[in-house]
Amino acid sequence: MILVTGGAGFIGANFVLDWIAATGEPVVNFDKLTYAGNLENLAALNGDARHVFFRGDICDRALVDALLTQHRPRAIVHFAAESHVDRSIHGPGEFMRTNVEGTFTLLEATRAYWGELADDAKEGFRFLHVSTDEVYGSLGPNDAPFTETHAYEPNSPYSASKAASDHLVRAWHHTYGLPVLTTNCSNNYGPYQFPEKLIPLVMANALAGKPLPIYGDGMNVRDWLYVGDHCAAIRAVLAGGRCGETYNIGGWNEMPNLVIVKTICALLDEMRPGAAGKYEQLMTFVKDRPGHDRRYAIDARKIERELGWRPAETFETGIRKTVRWYLEHQDWVAHVQSGAYREWVTKNYGARE
């Protein structure tokens, strides 16, 4: 079996569902269940013996040690992280604790566990650390996309905390020989994404007739990766990636935020026409956030060259699937839109006029 941290969050839950469907191999799912961790994401696995869930904190060394000793995983896939840039600006402390201290704790527990494995198990063991393209900083409009050798230039507390965790993973490989793999992905979208991120936020607000907030001029560019493609890429890296290597995972879909919002509005006009007219009329430009990186773009040729992975979805096919999923799962959306969520949206966007 494998151990997955953060497996009740957006990408982690999609990975757990994808992993069990694709491989049938059992998963021990270890998640703290913060605001973005949601066991409803894993409802399809209720009663499935291949999915074992434990609630806990990756900073809890004793609990991590106990899980490793009890379940003897052949690999760890580490998703657990605080990941929202705006939240990191308002409160960076939790990002340092989870992303830096938590990764350190997990690495030390893993090193102790791995060091006691028999030779064959020790040779086959892997620690896969899931990171972000934001560690590389910002690109100009004509700059080449990020490669795996691009210098780290994090610009937010979130990206700085992830950069620190990447460096820890690299150091534990080079100092202690721990067999690690690192992936740096671009912006994910798809089912089960908490509605603080751009795409689900736009859909939720549009359907409620609320303003669709767009930072600055809306021309900040991101590379968009459908979450199912990301899951397939991680499986490929875990199966065939070279120890100590980093693999960038991107969707080959650079798109400005303004285009994303307009695309969602057009799809909602088609699939769920609004009584008050076109959804695009709800678009509202708000004050830009501090340190907002202008452009990210991923060069994903290494993973294609070495492991044969390319995204299966174009942005057009992926965003259509995503909008349809949210329309068909409005009960899930309603459940995650708790008072705490509404509080957060008010805090973050209410003062941006």
What integer is the mean pLDDT of 29-38?
Answer: 89
Reported as a single tens digit per residue, the pLDDT across 255-297 is 999 999 999 999 999 999 988 899 999 999 999 888 788 999 9
Question: What is the average pLDDT across 9-17?
Answer: 97
Does some domain include residue 142?
yes
- CB neighbours of 101 closer than 8 A, spacing ≥ 6? 59
The answer to whether position 182 is within a domain reads yes
Q: How far apart are CA 7 and CA 289, in angstroms?
A: 29
Structural domain contains residue 27: yes
217 part of a folded domain: no
pLDDT in tens, 78-111: 999 998 788 889 999 999 999 999 999 999 999 9
In a domain, 114, yes or no: yes
Domain presence at residue 306: yes
Which are the contacts of 252, defined by CB distance < 8 A and separation ≥ 6?
Answer: 223, 300, 310, 311
Determine which helix (DSSP H) or strand (DSSP E) holds 157, and give its type and residue range.
Answer: helix 157-176
The CATH number for 235's domain is 3.40.50.720
Residue 348 lies in a domain: no
Its domain, for residue 57, covers 2-190+224-252+291-312
Confidence (pTM): 0.93
Active site (catalytic) residues: 133-134, 158
Inform me whether the pLDDT recorded for 44 exceeds 70.
yes
What distances in angstroms separate CA 98 from CA 56, 104, 141, 328, one per listed residue? 12, 9, 33, 33
* Residue 264 placed within a domain: no
Q: How many independent structural domains does the chain possess? A: 1
